[in-house]
Each structure stands twice: as structure tokens, then as C-alpha cells.
Amino acid sequence: MTSNERRNDIKRLLNENNSATVKQLAQIYHVSESTIRRDLSKISSGSGAIRRTYGGALMLDNLSSDLPINIREREHTEAKIRIAQTASKLISDGATIILDTSSTVTELVPYLRRFEALTVITNGIKTAYLLNSYSKITTFCTGGRLRKHSMSLVGSTACQRFEEINADWAFISCRGFTTEKGVTESSDEEAQVKKTMLAAASKTVLLCDGSKIGQIMMNRVCTIDKLYAVITDIPMSDEMTSELSSKGVRIYIAK
């Protein structure tokens, strides 16, 4: 099998299975892992049909493709931790907070253990499981249909639960963020649930690493004026900073 034939076959395999690791591909094609990494780089730079991930690759049908949570958790990890730590400084004892299911917001969970009488409402199965070990936190998990990729509960049942509560804070992330289009998501169901989160909370904070800034996905969650603050890991452009400030949105750069 020539290198071109192998690369075409890798694309076929990824299209059928959605994702694969470098180790798996090396075993399938009986070549070294470094050869597979070169193949993936060549495919990615040539057609843009795949997205390189930590230790593997994911097939992308289009820019709105939904990444599995186990892959998202490995991306920009240090930035997400810094963002979550900064976000925790906004919380106080006795607060009622909403957490979405994003990998960035999930990094906030370990920082919640120091608070007293905290109430958390989430539509995330993993988030609720992690919170269960903290005796000082009362956790509520919405019902709804389980999205296996994201381990999130969505649909009318999840939305209705958020419509029934009043929270102090909502902490959400996104797949895309611009001043023109605001907060956007690849999944319509996720966008709908996040809209109800915003409506339920007095203040909404967007946790957004630098890779999301400038990206626009199909489904709009909200415009920038609906946000209390944006926490990111890199300085924003002067234009974006000015536009957010003009709408009263606070900007925190996590260090």
C-alpha cells in the first residue's frame, strides 16, 4: 500500500468510525506512530476533512461537528483550569449556580468544595457525579434525553427544569464567540438548554478559551449584552474589548 492509498484508507476509516487514535492506526496499517502522525498532518492540511486531536484524529463533516467529551477534555486543558479558577472567585457561600456540561465549566467543580451551602443545578451527568462527593453542596440534575457524546441532558424536560428555578449565576461555555453573533453552539439542543439557563440566572458568565473566539456556529445562544462577564485565557483584540465594555460586559483574563 502506497502512502497515498494509506491516507485515503485512513479517511475512509475515520469516516466510518468518526475517530481513531494514532496507536490504533499504526497497528492497523503496520507502520510506525510517527508515520501515522505525518499521514494525519498531510490529510488535515490537504483537505481539512479531519481534526487532529491529542493522540489521534476526528472526522469532521463540517465546522459544526460535535466533538465527543473525552476528546474535548484533552484540549487546552491548562487554559481551562486557569479560566475555571478565575470563575470560582465570583462565587460566594450560599449561592445557587447553574453549570452547563462543557469541559471548561466541568473544570470549575474542584474549586467549589471550599464553599458553604452551595446549590448547583446542572444538565450534565458527569458534572453531577463529580459534585456528589462534596457533602456541603446540594446538587440537582435535570431530566431529559441523554446526548452520549456530551453526557448532557437536553430537550423539553431539561429546559422546563431551568424555567422553574431562580439562580444567582450561570456558568456556560460555547463552541463559538464573536461580538457580532454572540455566543454560538453547534448543537441546536444544547443552544436551547443554554438559553433557559441564561433566563434562570441573575448573572451569566461565559468561560471561553482562546480557540473559541472568532468562531461562529449555526445556533445562537445569546447576544453579548446578555452576559455579565467573559473569562478567557488570552487578551482580546482592542475592538472586541471595546465592544464588550460598551455593553457593560466585564472581561477577565485568566493567568
| pTM, two decimal places | 0.76
Domain boundaries, the chain: 3-61, 77-253
Domains 3-61 and 77-253 share a fold: no
Which CATH number among 3.40.50.720, 1.10.3660.10, 3.90.1150.10, 1.10.10.10 corresponds to the domain 3-61?
Answer: 1.10.10.10
What average pLDDT does range 83-101 have in this prediction? 97
Backbone angles phi, psi at 234, to 5 degrees: -130, 150
CB contact set of 17 (below 8 Å; sequence gap of 6+): none
What average pLDDT does range 35-61 have in this prediction? 68
Q: Which CATH superfamily is domain 77-253 in?
A: Translation initiation factor eif-2b; domain 2 (3.40.50.10470)
Alpha carbon distances (Å) from 65 to 4, 104, 248: 26, 18, 32
- Expressed in angstroms, the distance from the first to the final Cα of the chain is 48
pLDDT of 67 strictly over 60: no
Locus of grid cell 433566563: 199
Backbone angles phi, psi at 227, to 5 degrees: -95, 140
pLDDT tens-place string over residues 151-196 = 899 999 999 999 999 999 999 999 999 999 999 998 899 999 999 9
Q: Name the average pLDDT for the chain.
A: 88
Per-residue model confidence (pLDDT) at position 13: 80
CB atoms under 10 Å from CB of 74, counted, come to: 12
pLDDT tens-place string over residues 112-142 = 999 999 999 999 999 999 999 999 999 999 9
